[in-house]
Amino acid sequence: MFITAEQFQNTETNKAIVERKNKNPYKGTPLESFHSLSSKAKGMFFEKLVEEVAKSEGWKVSRGGSSDYDRMIGGQRIEIKGSFLWGEGTNFRWQQLRTAQDYDKVIFVAAYPDRIEFFEADKATVKENVEVQDSRGHWTYNQHGGKRVNSGTFFLDGFPEDFPWMEKVQF
């Protein structure tokens, strides 16, 4: 079985896709092309952007020396996590936070439709705030394998102001 492209155009699936694209808060903004990239490409360009901004502020920057961190900035091992707004702008989601990796700080990049903001936290602070269990023993920010097991990989949903332990980056 198959359907033609013309038949697809009349499906509820296509209508939902078009509706979602029309609600995209990045549509028509300078960040639209960045937002449209695959997740892997976004990650690469978030890293490149942090490098470019840090260098423009006079910091010495080099590529990470291992897969545990993305860049060396000012002699510190930096893991870079970027996010665009999810859905219809309801939150950011920083993913794949691994507290067992060998880095000094995480730079969290928040790409709004009209600006990009940079926040940071040292590894100990990140670990303290993502390796959290609720009153039932569930891992609140666990990314893989459900909430009952600490997978070692975490995520954060929200806005930077929801995480007062994130500080604005002072490149």
Q: Amino acid identity of 42?
A: K
pLDDT at 69 (0 to 100): 97
Per-residue model confidence as pLDDT tens digits over 93-141? 999 999 999 999 999 999 999 999 999 999 999 999 999 888 998 898 8
Which pLDDT belongs to residue 104? 97
Cβ atoms of 139 and 148 within 8 Å: the answer is yes
pLDDT score, position 170: 83
Distance CA 41, CA 99 (A): 23
User: What pLDDT score does 52 carry?
Assistant: 97
pLDDT at 150 over 90: no
Contact predicate 84/116, CB 8 Å: no
Q: Which residue has the tokens 């903001």?
A: 117
DSSP state of 144: S
User: Do strands 153-158 and 167-168 pair parallel, antiparallel, or not at all (unpaired)?
Assistant: unpaired
Contact 126, 80 (CB under 8 A): no
Q: Which of 39, 35, 73, 69 is nearest to 53 (CA)?
A: 73
Q: What is the pLDDT of residue 141?
A: 87
The tens digit of pLDDT for each residue in 68-105 reads 999 999 999 999 999 999 977 889 999 999 999 999 99
Q: Is the pLDDT of residue 22 over 90?
A: no
Structure token digits, residue 72: 């060396």
Task: Average the pLDDT over 47-59 and give the result.
Answer: 97
Q: What pLDDT score does 23 carry? A: 84
- Asked if residue 160 lies in contact with residue 119, where contact means CB atoms within 8 angstroms, the answer is yes
Class of domain 30-168 as given by CATH: alpha beta
- For residue 57, what pLDDT is reported? 95
